[in-house]
Amino acid sequence: MRVQTLTLAAAGAALLAPTTLPAAVHSNEPVRYEGNVRAADLLAKVRDCAPVSNGHYRSDAGTPADIPVCGTEDVVFWKADMDIDCDGQAGPRCNGRTDPYFADTTAYQQSDGRQLDAERLPFIVVPVASSIWNYRDHGIRGGSVAAVIYENRVQYAVVGDTGPHDIIGEASYATADALGIDPDPHGGGTASGVTYIVFKDSKVSPIEDHAAAVETGERLARQFVGQGIEGIAES
Task: Give me the pLDDT at residue 180, please.
Answer: 97
- Please tell me the pTM assigned to this model: 0.85
Task: Give me the pLDDT at residue 228, please.
Answer: 60
At 194, give phi and psi (nearest 5°). Answer: -110, 130
Task: Give me the pLDDT at residue 233, please.
Answer: 41
Task: Give me the pLDDT at residue 192, please.
Answer: 97
Q: How many CB atoms lie within 10 A of CB 9?
A: 9
The conformation of residue 212, written as its DSSP 8-state character, comes to H
Task: Give me the pLDDT at residue 12, please.
Answer: 35
Task: Give me the pLDDT at residue 156, please.
Answer: 98
Distance in angstroms (rounded) separating the CA atoms of residues 127 and 166: 7
CA 135 to chain centre: 15
Angle at 7 between CA 43 and CA 9, to 5 degrees: 95
Preceding omega of 68 cis (within 30 degrees of 0): no
The helix/strand/coil state of 179 is helix
Task: Give me the pLDDT at residue 227, please.
Answer: 75
Task: Give me the pLDDT at residue 30, please.
Answer: 43
Which residues of the chain are modeled with pLDDT < 50? Answer: 1-31, 230-235
Angle at 196 between CA 193 and CA 201, to 5 degrees: 170
3-state secondary structure string across the chain: CCCCCCCHHHHHCCCCCCCCCCHHHCCCCCCCCCCCCCHHHHHHHCCCCCECCCCCEECCCCCCEEECCEECCCEEEEEEEEEEECCECCCCCCCCCCCCCCCCCCCCECCCCCECECCCCCEEEEECCCCCCCHHHHCCCCCCEEEEEECCEEEEEEEEEEECCCECCEEEHHHHHHHCCCCCCCCCCEEEEEEEEEECCCCCCCCCCHHHHHHHHHHHHHHHHCCCHHHHHHC
